[in-house]
Structure 1
C-alpha cells in the first residue's frame, strides 16, 4: 500500500484502496470495478492473456536461512543434499525440500517455528519464501542476530501490478511513476522499511 500511495502521488491521482481476496482482484479488473491490482501477482504467460503487467516491483522466490555458525557449510541449494531442513507445512518450501536428495525434512505450523527449531540446533537450514524471511528478520533482532540469510534464490518470480488489457494508458502512467520512485530512492527506502534489505538490483 505504501508503494501504491507513493505511485499515486507521482501520478497526481487520488487513490482508493479496496481490500479484496487475492482471487477476486483480476475478476474485479476484468469487470471494471477496480483499475489496478497490487498484490503478489507473478508475471506469467497465463495471466498475461487476461491482463497487462506493470514493470516488476519485487523479485520473490525461495531462499535459505542458516544458523550464524553454519557448521554444515551451506552456501547454495545444492549443499542441502543429505541435510536436516525445517519448513512450514503446506508451502512451496515443503514441496521443494521434499525433492532434495537425502534431506531430512521436518514440518512446522509456521515459518517462525521452523526457524526456532533450527536455532535450537535441530536443523541445518530453513527454506522459506524470501519476503517472509526478510520481514521476519526485520521484526526480530534476536532471530536476525542468530542467523544468516543466504543470497541464492530458487523458483524466482517477478511480481507486478496488473491492469485491464484496454487500460494501457494507466499502465504507462504507473510504469513512469515506478521508474521515478526507483530513480529518486523512494522505492529502495520503502523496500528497506518492510524487508530490511535493498531491492534486488536486477529489477528494471
Structure 2
C-alpha cells in the first residue's frame, strides 16, 4: 500500500518528484535543463528554412521528467537566454531575431509542448506505461509542428510551410518520440531499483 501511495505521489509531482523538492533543487534542475536544451540545439542538420535538431526531444523529455510547471519554466528560461543573445539555439544562434524568423513558431511552441508532456506524464503517460509515453511524446511533436507551420505559413504560404516545415520532420518526430519513451522507461526502471535499495 505504501509503495502504491509513493508511486502515486511521485506521479503527481512529476516522475522525478521535483515539485516536492526545495527551491535549490528546482533551480539546479532549471540550469541543467537549460544546458540539455542548448546541447540538443547543437546537434543540428542544416535545412532551409528550419534545421533538424534534437530540441523537440529535449523539450518533451524535460516536460515529462519535470512536470508541466517546472518543465515549461525551464524551456522559457532557455528561450529567455536566447532572447538576450546567448548562443543557445541551433547553430549557436541567439538574439531576438530568432523570434521573428522562420523558426519563431517552433520556439513559441516549445514551452507549450513541455507543459503538455508534463501534464500527461503526471497522469500516467510516462515511463511506467511506455506506449502512452510514446503517444505523449508524439502529441507534443505534432503540436510543435502544427504551431511552427502556422507561423511559417504566414511567411511563405501554407503549401510551402507544410512541404518545408512539417513533412521533412514527421519521421524524425516518430523516432524522437520512441527514443523519449525508451529513455523515460529506463529512468523509471533505475528509479525503482534505487527505491528497492533504499527499502532493503
Query: What TM-score results when the alignment is normalised by the length of structure 2?
Result: 0.27
Larger Rg: 1
The one of the two structures with greater contact order (alpha-carbon pairs below 8 A, sep at least 6) is 1
Greater per-residue helix proportion: 2
